[in-house]
Amino acid sequence: MRSLINNYAIELKDKDGRPTGNFYLDNGGAKDACTEVLKNNSHLKDDKASAFMTEHFADTWEHFDVNKDGIVEVGRFP
């Protein structure tokens, strides 16, 4: 969780521009995080990780972005 927040998440701000403490992944941040996991934890090489992402990421993102607003709460992402 800490890695997601520190490296990939965006923090929402209130109407006055102050941080809210609510962290979300946008599509790009989620792709980067998933790619890191595939390479480091699943030990896939670049080409295999890329192929896996091409095959599975869009459907997975669509499943978790239930509001279709382009962000997913960090705690809700797999």
Question: How many other CB atoms are there within 10 angstroms of residue 24's CB atom?
Answer: 21
With 70 as the cut, is the pLDDT of residue 69 above it? Answer: yes
**CB-based contacts of 52: which residues, under 8 Å, 6+ apart?**
38, 44
Domain ranges of the chain: 2-76
pLDDT digits (tens, 9 = 90+) for 29-48: 999 999 999 999 999 999 99
CA distance 1 to 44: 22
Look up the pTM and report it.
0.83
